[in-house]
Amino acid sequence: MFRLAIAALLGAISLSACAQQPASPAGATAPAADSAADKRVREALKQLDPNFAPDYIGAAPFPGFREVVVSGQVLYVTDDGRYLMQSQPYDIEKRAMATSTGLLAHRRTLLASLPHADRIVFAPPNAKYTISVFTDIECGYCRKLHQDVAELNRQGIAVEYLAFPRMGLGSKDYTDMISVWCADDRKAALTAAKADRPVAAKSCTNPVAMQYNVGQQLGISGTPAIFAADGSQLGGYLPPAQLKAALEKLPGAAGRP
């Protein structure tokens, strides 16, 4: 219901009004938390859907807006609750997507809810960086990324895989990923599946559904979806050199999530 309401609203809203918000001076930091603004935004969105239940509301990385996460979608709403936009702005100065510290913390909390023991990990000794990768065994770019794992490890990057069957729970993709996660050697099974080799059907208590659901809360719509330790989403597939360069630009990316 909320997604439909948002889509309808975006068709009618004049986003030019957003330009009336005060511009951020060079070097300005994100505004502090404002519980009154949070309340106004919450009440405004409840007018679209009485059952509105955000996963997160906090200061946007630029003044005049609240940042809202609902069903994995990131929305920006003016502090007065009047205007809404559904597009993540680009920070020209930092040359990266604009992301608030609050949203990064929200993502880290979600990622931390997925136990390390449930991940399929390819890591070098003393890794400098760790990336969490939501993966599907069938997508072409997921397979291409997996071919790069050895090089990523050589560059000091550990890869921790999480399951995200794109076709949804109950699909063949989902049951195949359960077989991978239930295999005696999950790393070998994942490598075989990504090479289009058969994996013996198995069933067990597994984290596939839980990882998929957290991926949806993070707003993932395609795979691979790569997250740095600080909660930054690095996008989809990147060649090893570009991925390492992206990590080096993030002050909080070193270490594990």
Catalytic residue, from 40, 142, 143, 230: name it: 142
Catalytic one of 66, 108, 119, 136:
136
166: annotated active-site residue: yes
Q: What pTM was computed for the model?
A: 0.82
* pLDDT tens per residue across all 257 residues of the chain: 445 445 444 333 332 222 223 233 233 333 445 789 999 999 999 998 898 889 999 999 999 999 999 888 899 999 999 999 887 788 888 777 788 899 999 999 999 999 999 999 999 998 999 999 999 999 999 999 999 999 999 999 999 999 999 988 989 999 999 999 999 999 999 999 999 998 899 999 999 999 999 999 999 989 999 999 999 999 889 999 999 999 998 877 776 66
Q: What is the pLDDT of residue 73?
A: 87
Give a three-class secondary structure readout of 56-91: EEEECCCCCEEEEEECCEEEEEECCCCCEECCCCEE
Place of tokens 């063949």: 172
Can 204 be counted among the known catalytic residues? no
- β-bridge partners, 121: 160
The pLDDT assigned to 9 comes to 43
Query: Which of 108, 166, 176, 182 is flagged as catalytic?
Result: 166
Look up 118 and say whether it is catalytic. Answer: no
Query: What integer pLDDT is reported at residue 235 of this predicted model?
Result: 81
